[in-house]
Chains A and B, each alone.
Chain A
């Protein structure tokens, strides 16, 4: 389909391991967002990419979290030395630009044992 694609859909890993989550935005969308949704909670903003500008990392909860967006398209969110409190659904969204409606992927459900 032509929507936002995230992989894996589920990830279970042991505490202390590193994980990488992938997001394929809608083709042509210049803006890309990562959010975290904990069980029964709303969305917590993590990071925002817009074109070639420096990303807005103000939502990243610690220096264990980082994200890249290569070639203005695919993005990878990396969590190093995972902790149990990192367990959540990580949602990616893309839009045609700032102020435009965001289109979401189905998320990656991350479980840290």
Chain B
């Protein structure tokens, strides 16, 4: 299909790991991105991965990329209540002109 797909909701307990999944569409996408949106705010860039990488780690965040399956995931270790937000994945298409965003995964962290 044409859409970048994400599950809508994820609920975890504080201290657990969270894994947010995304399926993208363009196998030629060069960069894939993860953004975080807190209530009433814009999108904050969390991390991104270049398509020739399988994994990227940045403190509590780990991004895994499976190009064969066009699957991207974001793992948050030791999830905190402050991590509660909506997480968007995004890919670039059309000769780098357009970002396409998934519908977002709402992460709820229970104390």
Contact = CB atoms under 8 A, between A and B. Distances in A.
A107 B44 CA distance: 12
A7 to B, nearest CB: 13
Contacts of B100: 45
Q: How large is the interface on B (under 10, 10 to 19, 20 to 34, 35 or more residues)?
A: 20 to 34
Contact of B45 (A48, A56, A91, A102): A102
Nearest to A106: B42
Interface residues of A, number: 22
A21 B92 CA distance: 26
Contacts of A99: 30-31, 92, 96
Given A42-B88, A98-B96, A101-B48, A91 B43 contact: yes
Given A41-B103, A45-B99, A56-B97, 19 more contacts: A33-B99, A42-B88, A42-B101, A43-B43, A43-B88, A45-B98, A45-B100, A56-B98, A91-B42, A99-B31, A99-B92, A99-B96, A101-B33, A101-B48, A102-B99, A104-B35, A104-B44, A105-B42, A107-B41
Interface of A: 4, 6, 33, 35, 41-43, 45, 48, 50, 56, 91, 93, 98-99, 101-107
